[in-house]
Amino acid sequence: MIVSRFAPSPTGYLHLGNARTAIFSYLFARHHGGKFILRIEDTDKERSSKEFEEMLLKDLEWLGIEWDELYRQSERFDIYREYVQKLLESGWAYPCICTPEELEEERKRAEEKGIPYRYSGKCRHLTLEEAKRKGLPYTIRFRVPEGEVITFEDLVKGPISISADDFGDFVIVRSDGTPVYNFVVVVDDALMGVSHVIRGEDHIPNTPKQILIYRALGFEIPKFAHLPVILGPDRSKLSKRHGAVSVKNYREEGFLPEAMFNYLCLLGWSPPEEGREIYSKEELIKIFDLKDINSSPAVFDVQKLRWMNGVYIREVLSIDKLANYLAPFLREAGYEFEEAYLKKVLEKARDAFETFSEAVEKLKPFFVDEVVYSEEAKAVLENQTAVQVLNYVLLKLEEGELNAQRIKEIAKLAQRELGIKPKDFWHTLRASLTGELEGVGVDVICDVVPKERIIKRIRRVLTVF
C-alpha cells in the first residue's frame, strides 16, 4: 500500500515551500488510492507552539488537504525510548559525555585544518553504565560505519551517493533526553508504514543517516523523493524579502485555496497536457505522477498567482461559492448587504478584481452610502459642466427604472441636448457615484445599485460642490 506523509514542525507559519510538499505528498497518496498521514514534529519544546500548530492545521484544511491519520511526536516519547534502548543494546548507539566546549574545540581544529568537521569518536568505547557512573550529562550517538558509502535512488534527483565519513557519529538523543529529528523520523515512518518520503531537497544530507538507522533497526527502507527548492524572481531562495511567503499571508489577503493549490502544483511539476494550467483538485489527483517533477528549481511568480486567482474568480467558481468566500472580507470592512444583493454585484463585477482584499476597495461603490472623493474627482465635480450633467441625469431618472441600458441612453441624450463630450458625461457620473475616475464601469454600477442610492449620491455632490 502506498503511504505518504507530511511532517511539519509547529515552529512558524506554513511556508509556501512546505505547502507544496504537503500538496505533492497528498496528491501522490490519493492518486494511488493510498494513505496520507499528517505528523506534527513537535519535539523541539522551546520553538514549538500550540498557536503555530493550530494555524498549520487551519492552512492545510483551507488548501483542501485531508489527512487519514494525525500524530504528534510529543505523544510518542515512550516509543522512541524503546528504540533507543534497542540501538544501545545492539551496539549501534553509545553515550557521549563530551561537553559543548570540547566539541567546539574539535570544530575549531577542523576549521584550522580546512577540513569538514566530524565527531572524533572519543566516547565510542563508553558504555551506558560507565556514563551513568560518571554522573555527567550525556547524549546518545549513532555509531556510523567508517568508510561506507550510502547510495540511494532518489525518485526526483536520480542516484545519490554520500560517504559516511562526511558526517561521522551523530547525536540521536540530546542530553535532556529528547530525541533528535533524524532518529524519530525513521522510527515514525517505519511504524506508520510510510512507503514514500516526499520532502524538500534540503533533507538530502539527512537521508544517508536515516538509511543507516533503518538498517540498524531492521526496518524496511522507504523510497525517497526530494523536491527542488522554490526560488524568488531574482533566483535566490524564496524568502521574506520577496514578499509574503506563508500560506496565512495569502489566505488573509484574499487568495482562493483552489487557485493556490493549483498554482503550487505547477511549481516544479509539469502536467502531461502542454499549455493547460487550470486544474481542479480532482483532475490533479488523476494525473499527478512523481516522474513529472522537475529536478531543477522552480521560480515563484506572485503576478502569475494573481492572474490564476483572477481566472478562478472570473471563470471557474460559481457565484454562490464566490459569494461565500468574499462575504467575510466585505463584512470585516464594515459593508452591510443581503446575500442576494452580493450575488447580483458579483454577476456584474466579478472581473473587477483578482483578490478579495482588492475586491473590498474595487466594489466599494456598491456598498457604501457616501463616497469619499479623490482630488482628481473633486477637480471634475467642481467644474460647471458637472452641475449641468448631474442635474440632467436627475431629471431623466424621474422616468422609469434605472439600469445599464437606460444610463447609456441618458448619456447619448445628454451629449446631444447639452452639447457635451462623452468623456465629460462619464467622468462626471463616475466621480459622483464612486469618488474616483477609474474602477468598475458606471453602467454596471447603475445596473446594480438601487436607483434611490444613485440619486442620493448625485444630490450630495450638488450640495457639496
By the 8 A CB rule, do 373 and 431 touch? yes
- Per the domain annotation, does 308 fall within a domain? no
By the 8 A CB rule, do 229 and 297 touch? yes
Identify the CATH number of the domain in which residue 49 sits: 3.40.50.620
Identify the CATH number of the domain in which residue 347 sits: 1.10.8.70
CA distance 20 to 26: 10
Mark whether 65 and 159 lie in a shared domain. no
Query: Known catalytic residue: 362?
Result: no
Burial profile 309-339: b = 16 or more Cβ within 10 angstroms, e = fewer:
bbbbbeebbeeeebbebbeebbeeeebebee
Mark whether 260 and 213 lie in a shared domain. no
Give the domain range for residue 278.
Answer: 3-73+229-303
Catalytic residue (one of 108, 240, 321, 412)? 240
- Per the domain annotation, does 310 fall within a domain? no
CA distance 305 to 251: 13
Mark whether 36 and 170 lie in a shared domain. no
Mark whether 238 and 297 lie in a shared domain. yes
CA distance 244 to 15: 9
By the 8 A CB rule, do 357 and 368 touch? no
pLDDT of residue 95: 98
Helix (H) or strand (E) run with residue 137 in it? none
Mark whether 54 and 91 lie in a shared domain. no
Mark whether 336 and 435 lie in a shared domain. no
Domain finish residue from 326, 346, 362: 362
CA distance 53 to 59: 10
Integer-rounded Cα Rg, in Å, for the chain is: 31
Mark whether 168 and 47 lie in a shared domain. no
pLDDT-flagged residues of the chain (< 50): none
Q: What is the pTM of this model?
A: 0.92
Domain count, the chain: 4
Mark whether 440 and 463 lie in a shared domain. yes
By the 8 A CB rule, do 95 and 131 touch? yes
Mark whether 51 and 146 lie in a shared domain. no
Mark whether 219 and 237 lie in a shared domain. no
Mark whether 353 and 391 lie in a shared domain. no
Burial profile 79-97: b = 16 or more Cβ within 10 angstroms, e = fewer:
ebeebbeebbeeebbbbbb
pLDDT of residue 398: 86
CA distance 256 to 323: 12
pLDDT of residue 243: 67
Mark whether 86 and 223 lie in a shared domain. yes
